[in-house]
Amino acid sequence: MLKNCFKAMAGFSLLAAFSSSVFAAPITSKPLSMALTQVKPLTKISVLLPSKLPSAIDANIHASAGTGDETSYEIRLYYQKGVGDAGFAGYFSGKLNSNFPNLKHRVSLVHGVMGYFLPGSRGGSRSPSTIEWSMGNVTYTAQLKLPIQSAPEQQATMVAVADSAIEGGAR
């Protein structure tokens, strides 16, 4: 069971905790559910998505878009669509036979899966926090623009998101 992986920062209530009973739950995020219906019929690989997003992100997403083909899928989430990177909220993808990631920090995920984490940057061109892992011959990526300042808090949040996607299994 993970302990309080999400913390409130700067007035944002992200999520109190993930528990093992939540991991297998259906997707509760409306933007993720809508994007899943777009990509699932397009791809033959397993679509892995978390059961829920941090509440401060999920509550403010106003658009989602999903694309895919037989060997990949991409889901993009937006705070506001049509304004470039300023409106970007998150990204989830799976790619068959992709190069395994080698981001900055190696992290342990559920079921012995190894992943790599890169904290998001702050400032004018704020980059998202990223976590990648490989299962079978598919590489999965999750990115979120988090309202969290410290790298350890970002890592805890992204590990919880990846663990939830892995535990949820193929959608």
Q: What DSSP line would sit under 55-116, residue for residue?
A: HHHHTT--EEEEEEETTEEEEEEESSTTSGGGGEEEEEEEEETPPPP--SEEEE-GGG-EEE
> What residue spans of 1-66 are helical by DSSP H?
20-23, 30-39, 55-58
Answer with the residue of higher pLDDT: 38 or 8: 38
What would the mean pLDDT of 59-65 be, rounded to a whole number?
A: 89
Question: Which of 7-11, 81-85, 98-102, 105-109 comes out lowest in average pLDDT?
Answer: 7-11
Tell me the pLDDT band of 17, cut-offs 50, 70 and 90.
Answer: very low
pLDDT for 141 equals 96
Answer with the residue of higher pLDDT: 24 or 44: 44
pLDDT for 18 equals 35
Tell me the pLDDT band of 123, cut-offs 50, 70 and 90.
Answer: low
Torsion of CA 170, 104, 89, 46, to 10 degrees: -10
Residue 166, pLDDT > 50, answer: yes
Residue 20, pLDDT > 70, answer: no
pLDDT for 103 equals 66
117: part of which helix (H) or strand (E)? strand 114-118
How far apart are the C-alpha atoms of 113 and 128, rounded to whole Å?
22
pLDDT tens column, 127-145: 899 999 999 899 999 999 9
81: CB partners within 8 A, 6+ apart: 62, 63, 65, 87
What would the mean pLDDT of 35-64 be, rounded to a whole number?
A: 91
pLDDT for 58 equals 86
Tell me the pLDDT band of 24, cut-offs 50, 70 and 90.
Answer: low
